Amino acid sequence: MVKFVLILGCLFVFEAKADLFDFDSDKPRESKIPALVEKLKGLEMKEDPAYEEAFNQSVKSIENSMEEEKLFCSGEATDAEGKALPKEQKQLCMRELKKHYLNATMTIFDIKKKYLGFIHQKQLEKLTEIQKKLKADIEKDF
């Protein structure tokens, strides 16, 4: 019985030290970027300055998160718990960051492209209305 308690105590102490020195954490840090990209995708496209402001704020949030994660992956900053990234995981962290960054920039490009097409279509509709009114006025006057 004494041996059992002794072994159980040793296991408990070893587990506590593993958590304390972060030997147990092979899981990578969760990135905020995918959630921010999804939020950006969720914006409803409108011909409105408020949409443009929301879009710009979302892009700025993505860029800020990118910089924070870049500092963390390079070892220049710590996470929210005050832990630095182990040297062995820096390369993996940078690869993941690169993947998120490429995805975010492609999403931003696609949304900007769709928005420009949307705005262009609205402008063409307005121009067509003006042309119809002008034609109707000319027909009426002559």
Instruction: Please state, as a whole number, how many other Cβ atoms lie within 10 Å of the Cβ of residue 138.
Output: 9
Phi, psi of 50 (to 5 degrees): -65, -35
What distance in Å separates the CA atoms of residue 30 and residue 118, rounded to the nearest whole number?
34
Domain ranges (residues) in the chain: 31-141
CA distance 7 to 10: 5
Q: How would you write the pLDDT of the chain (142 residues) with one tens digit per residue?
A: 555 555 655 555 555 444 444 444 455 578 899 999 999 999 999 988 999 999 999 999 999 999 999 999 998 888 878 888 888 999 999 999 999 999 999 999 999 999 999 999 999 999 999 999 999 999 988 8
CB 132 within 8 A of CB 101: no
Q: What is the pLDDT of residues 88-109, one digit of tens each?
A: 999 999 999 999 999 999 999 9
Alpha-carbon distance 118 to 77, whole Å?
41
The type of residue at 40 is L
Token code pair at residue 140: 């009426």
